[in-house]
Amino acid sequence: MKRTRSILAAVLSGLLLITAWAAFAPPAAAASLQEVTNFGDNPGGLRMHVYVPDTRPASPAILVAMHGCGRSGTGFYSGSEFAALADQYGFIVVYPTATKQTAMGNCFDVWSAASKTRGGGSDPASVVSMVEYVEDQYNGDPNRVFVTGSSSGGMETNALLALYPDVFAAGSVYMGVPFTCFANEADFPPQTSKCVNGSMDRTPQSWGDSVRQAYPGYSGPRPRVQLWHGSQDTLVPYQLLQEEVEQWTNVFGLSQNPTTTDRPQPSWERKRFADTGGTVRVEAITAVGAGHALPQTGMARLAIEFFGLHQNDPGGTTPPATTPLRPRRRPRAPAPRRCASSAAGARAGRATSTSPPAPARSTGGP
């Protein structure tokens, strides 16, 4: 009996020690969404959140992911697959939040003169400041910076690719419009817009000139472009996908006829436009039957594959660098602070494994 009591006492003592250790031990490291409030010049007044995966290369790639009107960066984090893919492939994701108020809610500025000007005092310049911050604070690779966005965020993606071809290596646009499609702020609301009333039709040369004039004299490499649109989109008409194709194929000096066509999935019709060396510079994907509700499940992964980020080894070395784009910036701001409320809520809405979260809902507007 004494021996039994001694054993029970020892077991109880051990359990108490384990419980005490668990109570005071620091929590296991886990990546979470963080808000950065002092990332640098911010003429657009945007908010910035960043997701940095626990496992990543010494010089990770950077992806900017932008929401649609009426949404937020934290919502795009929890409602899209990009953070789960970042865990898998080791790239950093920046989630800007637009603050410009329109009839469609808060939207990224793609209508003002400043938003169409390199270094202008609006949202594109703020996004570039976010990229520079991540390069400085996390040793982000300036040769592997990418951008994507849905609806309003997709429109801003086209603007960033046009204005800053020396910053972004490629972009993926969901439900966007060509760069300079909106004449001004009054042209932005769909009810009164000439851009999205279903009749916008300019020549490829005219669309291409808009991009070339965004950075006069630029002769470096242009970012590759992936374009997505739902065939039943009535808010941002499907016809605008063709206008985007005309713009970017003209910029690259490519034929309007695709070099290949295929179906990555049964309801996705893809047209690819390659240069004489066989490199796909532009691809356009129609989501047959889809309305204004992209990206859907699996679309983010196809974007990551288009960027080449699926070839990364998060725990090892980065793949060979592409053509150098620009030198690193010097550090300008302290490390980001955690935004506890948004991080906890967003993290709760997404699995910590590499399995994708639930597909995003409709963006609710441009």
pLDDT of 260 strictly over 90: yes
Rounded to the nearest 5°, which phi and psi values hold at 270? -115, 130
Do the beta carbons of residue 28 and residue 107 sit within 8 Å? no
Q: CA–CA separation, 146 vs 62, rounded Å?
A: 6
| Average of per-residue pLDDT across 137-149 | 98
The predicted model scores a pTM of 0.81
pLDDT of 16-39, one tens digit each? 333 333 333 333 346 899 999 999
Q: CA–CA separation, 247 vs 224, rounded Å?
A: 12
| Average of per-residue pLDDT across 235-257 | 97
pLDDT of 242 strictly over 50: yes
| Average of per-residue pLDDT across 184-200 | 93
Q: Which two tokens stand for residue 96?
A: 């800007």
| Average of per-residue pLDDT across 69-80 | 97
Do the beta carbons of residue 318 and residue 141 sit within 8 Å? yes
pLDDT of 332 strictly over 50: no
State whether the Cα torsion 335-340-345-347 is positive or negative: positive
If you compute the radius of gyration of the chain from its CA atoms, what whole number of angstroms results?
23
Segment among 22-26, 235-239, 266-270 with least mean pLDDT: 22-26
pLDDT (0 to 100) of residue 337? 40
pLDDT of 353 strictly over 60: no
- Type of residue numbered 213: Q
Q: CA–CA separation, 275 vs 189, rounded Å?
A: 37
| Average of per-residue pLDDT across 314-339 | 42
pLDDT of 14 strictly over 70: no
pLDDT of 146 strictly over 70: yes
Q: What percent of the chain stands above pLDDT 70?
A: 77
pLDDT of 281-313, one tens digit each? 999 999 999 999 999 999 999 999 999 999 865
Please enumerate in sequence order all residues whose Cβ is within 8 A of that of 202, keeping only pairs 6 or more positions apart, or say none.
Answer: 178, 243, 246
pLDDT band of residue 240 (cuts 50, 70, 90) is very high
pLDDT of 218 strictly over 70: yes
pLDDT of 318 strictly over 60: no
Structure letter (DSSP) for residue 321 = P
Rounded to the nearest 5°, which phi and psi values hold at 38? -135, 55
Look at 187 and 319; give whichever has higher pLDDT.
Answer: 187
Strands (E) located in the chain:
33-36, 47-51, 62-66, 92-97, 100-102, 105-107, 145-150, 170-174, 224-230, 260-265, 268-274, 280-287
The residues that are catalytic are 151
pLDDT (0 to 100) of residue 30? 65
Segment among 85-94, 143-152, 250-259, 307-316 with least mean pLDDT: 307-316
Look at 269 and 365; give whichever has higher pLDDT.
Answer: 269
Size of the chain, expressed as the number of residues it contains? 366
Rounded to the nearest 5°, which phi and psi values hold at 344? -65, -45
